[in-house]
């Protein structure tokens, strides 16, 4: 499809970048002769939940940023919809993202880091006073434009006071910069942005983020570590910044700075204190590493300089964790206006800003001679300081105590069918979870219940169309899980292959029902899921199986189009679920009959175990 030449009154003169949901254009407003950046997204059907949510975030960005007119925030001028395209008209910010500059030069001298953070915090103070919490503060959303001015961009997941567009329980953001409450899907406020600003301050000063690794690794450290490691431990950074960053990143929001202005004042005080230290303690600015470049309350007046608190004893670090097995989707990536075509000019301006000015001169360390006295007073004697007593490490969590809480958290997570095991080595999570928010919320819930043990996430990811099935099976699985595998160790089935799973019965005498769920091209879109009962069937009557018995299911059904990802569902119960073999039926009918059968088993106090497996099907051999 050819690119449009205009969007409403705006002329399109080129492309600045492309994202998963749309394009950012180099635009021109002919009425006032102004260059603009125009971010676009395709309008979608309301039934497409994922892209509909992306459009909602897009509109939210326009609504949030449209309230804000500040020199440290990228301005939003207009919003419109033309045919099947929605667009935001923004200030054309010529420069580089702070992330790009950090990637090139790693680390900043303290005075430059503070200068940048002062402008970021000024923009946040203005935003918070108008009821807008950004929720995704990170170097990739900070632009340094020509002349060294700093601007905050991308309010796409912002929370707006009194808005229902961002609900409690929604987990969004960038993991390395998210505070504990955001991981847990709890309400966020201005202090959540200040936590992210604390992470960014740590990164600007040290060239590293305080917590690195997979999402689960970062989450464990954020949820279970009281304070971040000191900034001064990550390179030659003045220790005056340790207490400031630790307070900004406090685990409890109440322990953080109350306002962005208060945070900025503390940074200025730390910079002033570091300037008074001997020159040998300051970073060598000729070193290559330093060349690079509440929303419910208004911001308080500039607070008195904050005396840095003594660094707290670091909490016991959580063990390393295993990354989730499945990839997660995400929102449309930020495309910075003007970055693609003006990177060179922006780099020059940003470099001059960050390198400009001479470093503050350290205070003289030569003592001034005292005036002569007829009766000099002897100098007081001082005793050697008592070395601090090391605090004993807290005992590791007791797996026997943690296990019930973890199992309860897993059982309460919607759109999941999870298995958990807990040992001194950590928490192992298997089974399945719905894609996106369901998987993230389940992981957050289990991590919060783990009491500091590492969580290894091995659960597979299912499309959201299976959520109703998972929510029917989960409360019924009171007696464990069932193991399933395709006969012969196969992982993929092709056209006309027989559907032969092997089912390992649970640890009690049981009756078994095995069903194959697939798509049916004959049905209307949205109602195309189909259920075929593999066992028992008319030729193989059901009977009770011994505990742990491996049951080979040899049905007469075979694979056919459409091809893709199908499911096999096995349910074992201490009494027969159905009085007769179920005919092939729609997914809705199957789900209704399964729900009724499982409710009946619960009323009769029968044991039930369940299991599911995904089956990839392909055309040809």
Query: HSE-up of 583 (CA within 13 Å, CB side)?
Result: 0
**Separation in Å, CA 54 to CA 158, 167, 177, 356:** 13, 15, 21, 41
Nearest to 155 by CA among 187, 197, 193, 181: 193
What H or E segment, with its residue span, contains residue 605? none
Q: Is 136 among the catalytic positions? A: yes
> Of these residues, 136, 193, 242, 566, which one is catalytic?
136
CA distances from 44 to 22, 41, 83 (A): 12, 9, 11
> What separation in angstroms does the CA of 113 have from each of 120, 146, 267, 443?
11, 17, 9, 34
- Please tell me the total number of residues recorded for the chain in this structure: 621
Contact partners, residue 572, CB within 8 Å, separation at least 6: 482, 505, 506, 510, 511, 512, 513, 545, 608, 609, 610
* Residue from 136, 175, 150 nearest 93 by CA: 150
| Longest CA span, the chain | 118
Measure the CA–CA gap between 534 and 554, rounded to whole angstroms: 8
Bin 296: left if φ > 0, else alpha if -120 < ψ < 50, else beta: alpha
The Cα–Cα gap between 436 and 324 comes to 12
Question: Token pair 């060294």 is at which residue?
Answer: 148
Residues 6+ apart with CB under 8 A from 368: none
CB atoms within 10 A of CB 210: 25
Token pair in block for residue 485:
């595998």
Residue 166 to residues 61, 184, 403: CA-CA distances in angstroms?
Answer: 12, 14, 33
Q: How far apart are CA 441 and CA 52, in angstroms?
A: 20
* CA 173 to chain centroid: 5
What are 256's strand-pairing partners? none
Active site residues: 136
């Amino acid at each position: 499809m050819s690119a449009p030449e205009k969007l409403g009154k705006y002329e399109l003169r080129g492309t600045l970048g492309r994202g998963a949901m749309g394009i950012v254009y180099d635009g021109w407003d002919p009425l006032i002769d102004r260059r603009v950046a125009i971010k676009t997204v395709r309008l979608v059907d309301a039934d497409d939940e994922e892209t509909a949510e992306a459009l909602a975030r897009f509109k939210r960005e326009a609504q949030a940023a449209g309230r804000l007119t500040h020199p440290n925030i990228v301005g939003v001028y207009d919003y419109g919809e033309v045919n099947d395209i929605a667009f935001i008209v923004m200030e054309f910010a010529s420069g580089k993202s702070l992330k790009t500059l950090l990637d090139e030069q790693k680390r900043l001298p303290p005075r430059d880091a503070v200068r940048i953070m002062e402008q970021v915090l000024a923009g946040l103070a203005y935003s918070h006073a108008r009821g807008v919490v950004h929720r995704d503060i990170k170097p990739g959303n900070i632009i340094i434009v020509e002349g060294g001015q700093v601007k905050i961009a991308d309010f796409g997941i912002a929370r707006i006071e009194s808005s229902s567009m961002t609900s409690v329980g929604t987990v969004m953001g960038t993991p390395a910069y998210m505070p504990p409450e955001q991981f847990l899907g709890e309400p966020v406020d201005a202090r959540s942005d200040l936590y992210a600003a604390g992470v960014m301050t740590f990164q600007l000063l040290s060239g590293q983020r305080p917590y690195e690794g997979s999402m689960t690794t970062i989450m464990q450290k954020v949820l279970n570590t009281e304070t971040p490691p000191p900034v001064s431990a990550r390179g030659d950074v003045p220790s005056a910044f340790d207490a400031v960053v630790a307070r900004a990143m406090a685990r409890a929001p109440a322990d953080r700075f109350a306002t962005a202005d208060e945070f900025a004042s503390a940074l200025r005080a730390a910079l002033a204190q570091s300037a008074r230290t001997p020159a040998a303690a300051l970073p060598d600015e000729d070193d290559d590493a330093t060349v690079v470049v509440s929303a419910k309350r208004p911001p308080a007046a500039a607070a008195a300089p904050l005396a840095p608190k003594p660094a707290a004893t670091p909490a016991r670090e959580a063990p390393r964790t295993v990354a989730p097995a499945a990839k997660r989707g995400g929102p449309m990536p930020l495309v910075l206006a003007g970055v693609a075509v003006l990177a060179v000019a922006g780099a020059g301006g940003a470099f001059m800003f960050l390198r400009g000015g001479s470093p503050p001169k350290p205070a003289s360390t030569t003592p001034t001679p005292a005036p002569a006295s007829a009766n000099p007073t002897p100098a007081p004697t001082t005793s050697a300081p008592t070395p601090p007593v090391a605090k004993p490490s807290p005992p590791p969590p007791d797996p026997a105590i943690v296990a019930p809480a973890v199992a309860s958290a897993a059982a309460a997570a919607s759109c999941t069918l999870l298995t958990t095991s807990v040992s001194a080595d950590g928490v192992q999570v298997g089974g399945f979870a719905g894609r996106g928010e369901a998987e993230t919320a389940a992981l957050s819930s289990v991590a919060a219940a783990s009491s500091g043990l590492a969580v290894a996430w091995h659960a597979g990811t299912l499309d959201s169309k299976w959520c109703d099935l998972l929510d029917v099976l989960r409360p019924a699985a009171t007696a464990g899980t069932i193991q399933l595998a395709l006969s012969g160790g196969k992982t993929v089935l092709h056209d006309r292959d027989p559907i032969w799973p092997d089912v390992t019965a649970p640890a009690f005498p049981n009756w078994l029902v095995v069903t194959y769920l697939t798509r049916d091209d004959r049905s209307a879109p949205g109602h195309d899921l189909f259920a075929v009962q593999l066992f028992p069937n008319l030729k193989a009557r059901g009977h009770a199986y011994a505990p742990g018995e491996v049951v080979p299911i040899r049905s007469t059904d075979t694979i056919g189009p459409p091809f893709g990802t199908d499911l096999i569902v096995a349910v074992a119960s201490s009494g027969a679920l159905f009085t007769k073999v179920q005919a092939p039926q729609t997914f809705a009918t199957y789900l209704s009959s399964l729900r009724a059968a499982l409710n009946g088993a619960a009323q009769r106090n029968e044991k039930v175990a369940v299991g599911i497996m995904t089956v990839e099907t392909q055309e040809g051999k």
